[in-house]
Each structure stands twice: as C-alpha cells, then as structure tokens.
Amino acid sequence: MVKLIDEFADISSVRKGTIGELAVIKALLPYYNVYVPVCDDQETDLIVEHKNTYDKVNVKNIGALTTKTSIELRSKKHCESKILDVIAVYYEPIGIAYIPFKAMGYPKYINLAIHTAHNNQSKKRTYFYQYMRYPEFE
C-alpha cells in the first residue's frame, strides 16, 4: 500500500482531494444518501443524509503521517465557522475516520494517533480507529 501512495505523490492536490472524496462516497453510499455540491467553496465536499438530517462533510485525503505515530489536522480559517458537521479523513493504508467538527476544539485541530507512541503514552491520546464508524457521534 505504501507504493500506491508514492505513485500519487506527483498528482495535483485537486486530484488527491477527488480520490479522497470518491473513497468516502464509496464507503457511505451503501448505507446513506450522499450528495455532492455543484460548488464546494464553503468547504462542504459532501452532504450525507441520515435520520432525516443532512450532515455537511469536508473530506481530507492524508498521504503521510505528520509525526512518526500520528496525523495532525488543522482547519483553515474560513473553515472555522459552524457550517461543517463532519471531517472525513481518508488515510489510504487504514481507511476513513469521521470526526465530528465540534470534537476538534478551538482552535480547530486534532491529532489522530495511528500507532502507539514510543513512550507508550496513552492518556489524552485520540486514535484514528475511534472514528472509523459513521456517525460515531450519535
């Protein structure tokens, strides 16, 4: 799987984003109605209908770890409004994490551990695997 990520190293960020969006759509479509906005300039890449509500979802395609054991996500300034409900993080070697936007705190960021820390720290550590079911925040 690592080779697959290396093959995508030279493609544009728009194409990488599209790959992530399609992976999330593929994962959600068997269970939910998924809609794609004509224009996503408000950071809403997908709209997911479930339980008579509509979640606005932003998709991030992560190609590599930020540290040796984790991914760090930071929202953009224009993304810090309350317009989003879920950040879907596609990390190809593992899968997709669906993070409630409100769980990211302020300023809007979250670290998602992929592996155990070298010092075996476990307190205050949020794992990618905790969010692999949509919607985890019910």
| Cα–Cα distance for residue pair 24/47, rounded to 1 Å | 11
Residues paired with 56 in a beta bridge:
47
Domain membership flag for residue 60 = yes
Domain membership flag for residue 52 = yes
Domain membership flag for residue 93 = yes
Provide the percentage of residues in the chain whose pLDDT is more than 90.
Answer: 29
Domain membership flag for residue 136 = no
Indicate whether 108 pLDDT > 90.
Answer: no
Mean pLDDT of all residues in 36-43: 84
Domain membership flag for residue 44 = yes
Task: Summarize pLDDT for 114-136 with one digit per residue, the tens.
Answer: 887 767 666 677 888 888 898 75
Indicate whether 34 pLDDT > 50.
Answer: yes
Domain membership flag for residue 73 = yes
Please give the sequence-ordered ranges of beta strands (E in DSSP) within 15-119, or none if there are none.
Answer: 33-35, 46-50, 53-62, 70-74, 86-91, 95-100, 109-113
pLDDT at 2: 41
Straight-line distance from the first to the last Cα atom of the chain, in angstroms, rounded to the nearest whole number: 32
Mean of all residue pLDDT scores within the chain: 80
> Which range among 13-22, 99-108, 129-138 shows the weakest confidence by mean pLDDT?
99-108
Task: Summarize pLDDT for 41-67 with one digit per residue, the tens.
Answer: 778 999 999 888 899 999 998 888 888
Domain holding 64: CATH number?
A: 3.40.1350.10
Domain membership flag for residue 137 = no
pLDDT at 54: 93
Domain membership flag for residue 138 = no
**How many domains is the chain built from?**
1
Indicate whether 138 pLDDT > 60.
Answer: no
For residue 95, give its domain range: 2-131
Indicate whether 78 pLDDT > 50.
Answer: no
pLDDT band of residue 82 (cuts 50, 70, 90) is: low
